[in-house]
C-alpha cells in the first residue's frame, strides 16, 4: 500500500457546477472495468469509500480487502464481499480476490506508519518477495507486490480508471491568485519536488525566497509543511507532485481539504499541484477553504519559468476556474 495520503473527500460525479466533464481521461482499462467485477485493496481516509460508492452506483460487483486498522467501516456495507487482512498477507489477499471471481484490482487509500510498524505480518510469500528486493523504497515495494499479484492472474488498475473526475486539472482553483513573487517560489518548489520524486524520496517541497526550507521524507506531507512554515517569517510556497516515473496504478499523491486547512493554519501563501495525475478530493471545498484563507491554489502541467510566466488566470495549458465573483469552483 501507499504512504500516508492527505484528503478526506466525498463522492463527486458527472458534471460540476461549471458544466465541465470529468477531470481527466480514463485509463486504458476503463471500458473493461465498466463491464466486470472489481476488487479494492483499501487503506485509510476517504478515497476507497468514494471509489466504492461509484462502483456500486454502476451496479458492479465489489470485493474489498481492507487493511486492518486503516479501512473505513463503511466499506463493509458497500462491498459485496469483504475481508480484513494485515499488511504482508499476500497469499490470503490473492486467494480472496480469485475466490470472488475478481481479476481487476486497485489500491486505494493510505497506510499509517503506526500500522506499518504494528500490523505488518508477512506470510511466507511476502518474506520471499522482500528478500528478493534490492531497494526498499516505496516504488520498489509496491511494484514488487503488483508483479506478484499479476503473476497470479490479477490485473492491477488505477483507481482513477474508476473515478477519473478526481484527477486535478490544470488551472487556478478558487479565486486567490499568486503574486509574481509567490508564483516564483511555487515554481521553484515545484521543480525541486520533481527532483525529489525522481530520487523516490518524497513528493512535497516547501520554499521561501527561492530557498527549499523543507523536503518531504519519512515524516510525510503534513509534517513537511509544518516544518517548512516554522522556519519562515513570511507565507511559504508548497508544491506536491508526481514522481517522474510514477506508476499511476500505485501510490498516486492525494490532496484534499485537510491539506488546505493545514495550509491555512500555518498561514501558507500557496500550493502548486501536479496536473499530470495528482488526485484532488472535494475540489469545491478545497477552493472554498483556500479562498477564505487567501491561499493561491494552482495546478500546473509544468511550472512557469523557462517557457515564460503562466497566464494570470491559470497554469500552462490551463483555465481560470474561479475568477472574481464566481460562485463556483469547477469541481468535477
Structurally, at CATH architecture level, domain 167-321 sits in 3-Layer(aba) Sandwich (3.40)
The vertex-251 CA angle with 247 and 257, nearest 5°, equals 130
Q: How does pLDDT run across 24-63, given as a tens digit for each residue?
A: 334 444 454 556 899 999 999 889 999 999 999 999 999 9
**30-164 CATH:** 3.40.50.20
Residue recorded with cell 490544470: 170
Q: Where are the domains of the chain?
A: 30-164, 167-321
d(CA 263, CA 221): 11
Q: Report residue 260 CA to chain centroid gap.
A: 14
DSSP letter (8 states) at residue 164: G
pTM assigned to the model = 0.76
What CA–CA distances, in Å, run from 35 to 55, 65, 89, 104? Answer: 11, 21, 29, 11
Q: 223-234, pLDDT tens digit by residue?
A: 999 999 999 999
| Distance of alpha carbon 118 from alpha carbon 85, whole angstroms | 13
Query: Could you say which DSSP state residue 297 is in?
Result: E
- Whats the size of the chain, residue-wise? 332
Q: What is the largest CA-CA distance in the chain?
A: 60
Residue ranges in the chain modelled with pLDDT below 70:
1-35, 306-332
Amino acid at each position: 500500500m501507499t504512504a500516508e495520503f492527505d484528503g478526506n473527500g466525498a463522492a463527486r460525479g458527472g458534471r460540476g457546477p461549471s458544466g465541465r466533464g470529468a477531470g481527466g481521461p480514463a485509463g486504458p482499462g476503463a471500458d473493461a472495468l465498466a463491464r466486470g467485477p472489481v476488487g479494492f485493496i483499501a487503506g485509510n481516509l476517504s478515497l476507497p469509500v468514494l471509489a466504492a460508492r461509484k462502483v456500486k452506483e454502476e451496479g458492479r460487483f465489489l470485493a474489498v480487502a481492507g487493511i486492518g486498522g486503516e479501512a473505513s467501516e463503511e466499506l463493509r456495507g458497500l462491498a459485496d464481499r469483504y475481508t480484513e487482512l494485515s499488511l504482508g498477507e499476500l497469499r490470503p489477499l490473492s486467494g480472496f480476490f480469485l475466490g470472488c471471481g475478481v481479476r481487476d484490482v486497485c489500491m486505494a487509500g493510505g497506510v499509517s506508519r503506526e500500522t506499518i510498524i504494528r500490523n505488518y505480518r508477512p506470510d511466507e510469500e511476502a518474506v520471499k518477495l522482500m528478500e528478493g528486493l534490492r531497494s526498499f523504497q516505496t516504488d520498489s515495494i509496491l511494484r514488487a507486490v503488483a508483479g506478484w499479484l499479476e503473476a497470479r492472474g490479477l490485473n492491477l488498475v488505477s483507481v482513477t480508471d474508476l473515478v477519473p473526475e478526481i484527477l486535478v486539472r490544470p488551472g487556478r482553483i478558487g479565486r486567490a491568485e499568486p503574486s509574481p513573487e509567490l508564483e516564483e517560489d511555487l515554481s521553484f518548489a515545484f521543480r525541486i519536488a520533481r527532483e525529489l520524486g525522481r530520487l523516490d524520496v518524497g513528493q512535497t517541497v516547501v520554499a521561501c525566497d527561492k530557498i527549499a526550507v523543507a523536503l518531504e521524507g519519512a515524516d510525510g506531507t503534513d509534517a513537511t509543511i509544518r516544518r517548512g512554515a516554522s522556519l519562515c517569517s513570511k507565507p511559504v510556497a508548497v508544491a506536491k507532485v508526481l514522481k517522474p516515473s510514477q506508476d499511476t496504478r500505485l501510490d498516486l499523491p492525494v490532496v484534499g481539504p485537510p491539506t488546505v486547512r493545514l495550509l491555512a493554519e500555518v498561514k501558507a501563501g500557496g500550493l502548486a499541484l501536479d496536473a499530470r495525475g495528482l488526485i484532488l478530493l472535494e475540489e469545491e471545498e478545497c477552493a472554498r477553504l483556500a479562498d477564505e484563507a487567501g491561499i493561491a491554489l494552482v495546478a500546473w502541467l509544468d511550472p512557469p519559468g523557462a517557457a515564460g510566466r503562466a497566464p494570470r488566470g491559470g497554469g500552462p495549458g490551463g483555465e481560470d476556474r474561479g475568477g472574481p465573483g464566481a460562485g463556483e469552483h469547477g469541481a468535477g
